[in-house]
Chains A and B, each alone.
Chain A
Amino acid sequence: MRIALFITCFNDTMFPGTGRAVVDVLERLGHQVDFPQEQTCCGQMHFNTGYRPDAVPLVERFARVFGEYDAVVTPSASCAGMVRHGHPVLAEEHGGPDLAQRVAEVTPRVFEFTEFLTDVLGVTDVGAYFPHRVAYHPTCHSLRGLRLGDRPMELLRAVGGIELVDLQAADSCCGFGGTFAVKNAETSGAMLADKTAAVRGSGAEVLCAADNSCLMHIGGGLSRQDAPVRTMHLAEILAATEGSGR
C-alpha cells in the first residue's frame, strides 16, 4: 500500500511534531510513508470564508499531488472533512468535468489518521505508552463532520499506562471555527471559557484531540489562564513510548 501523509499547511507550519508522530506510528506498524513535497493546503480557510474560486487551484493541486496513492492520511479531521465534502462541491461549481472526475477518484482514499488506523489498518493497539491523565475533546469535525464516533477513544484506551478522564459537555464546540474566532472573537471567547472550565474541571494533565486547530484555540485559552494542562494531538500520544521499555 502506498501511503501519503497530507500534513496540512497548518500542522506543517505550527505543529510539525504531529506529522513526526504520524510517521512514527505508521513506521512502527511496518508501513512506509511518503511525503509528497508539492502538497500545500486543502483550501478550507478560503472555502469557509466564502472565497471559493481562490480555493480551486488548491483542489486541483491536491488531486494532482495525491492522485497516485492508495491512501492519503492526514492528522486533521477538519481538513479531511474539507477534502471529502468540500472538494467535490468546489470541483462541481468551479472546475471542469475533468477535475470533478479526479476529485471523485482521490476523495475516497483520503483518511483522517484515527480512521485510517482503525478502519483501514484494523489496529487499535499501536504499542503506545503514556502514563498520564488524559481527556479527549471530540472536535466538531471529528464528531459530526467525519462521524469518527468511538474510534479515537478505542485507540486511546489501548495506550499503556494512560488514565482517561471524562470531559463535561465534551461534544460542545470550543468556539474556534477558523475565522469565526477572529470575526466573532468575543462569542468565540465565551465558548472557549466554558470549554477551558470543563477541561480544568476534568483533572486532566493533557487534553488531546484529532485537530490541532481546536487544540491551539483551547490551549491558547488555558495558557492565558496559566492552567496546568497541556494540549497534544492524539497522534502524539499514540506515538509516545516514554519509559515503556517496548
Chain B
Amino acid sequence: MNSRHAVLGRIRAALADVPSEERPEDVPVPRDYRRSHTAPGEDTVTLFAERVADYRATVTRTDRARLPDAVAAALTARGAEHLALPAGFPVELLPAGTWQWHPEPLDVPALDALDGAITLAAAGIAVTGTIVLDTGPGQGRRALTLVPDYHLCIVYAEQIAADVPDALARLDPRRPLTFVSGPSATSDIELDRVEGVHGPRTLDVIVVNPTPLEPRP
C-alpha cells in the first residue's frame, strides 16, 4: 500500500504542468485513420484467404454442404488421426471415417499425445490474415490449440471482419483471446522469419461460404 501511494504521489508531482481541471478526454485524440484498409467493394473473404496463406498456412474454401469433405481432406493430407474435440463443436461437421475424436476435458499430457485439434473461431481479420479464438463453443480452452502440433480451424465467411478495428469491436475483451496469424514462427535468427517453434507448426484454415460455391470443374 505504501508503494502504491508513493508511485501515485510521484506521478501527480511529475504532472505539475497538467492543469488540475484537465480531464483525460480534454486531451485530443484524432481518429483520422481508416476503419478498414480494404478497397471499396473488395471481397474480404478472398483477401482473408490470401493473407492467411501468406504466412504459409494452408487455406481451403468450401461451403456448408461440403465442409465435412473439406475436413476429411485436410486431416488425410496431414495424416492426423487423433484429434482434440472442443466442447460445443457441431458434431455434424465431422466427417465419417477412422478418425479418433477426443472430447474435453483433456489434460496437458493427453493433449500432448494427440496429433492435432479441430476448432471453430470467434472471428477472422481479412487485412491481416488473422483468426481469433475466444474459447467459446467449438473452440476449447486455450491449451487445446496450443499443445498439439496441428490446428485445423474452421472460419465462417460471415465471421471475417475487414480489418483490425472492426474485429476488436466484435470481440469481448473479458474472454481470453488468442489472435493467430499463421503457424508459430520466429524472426530471432538473423531477423529472418522461419515457421515452426513452440505453437502448432501446421495451421490449416477452412473458410466456409454461406451459399454454395460453384461446382468446380
Whether A and B touch (Cβ < 8 Å) is answered with no
What residues of chain A have their CB less than 8 Å away from a CB belonging to chain B? none
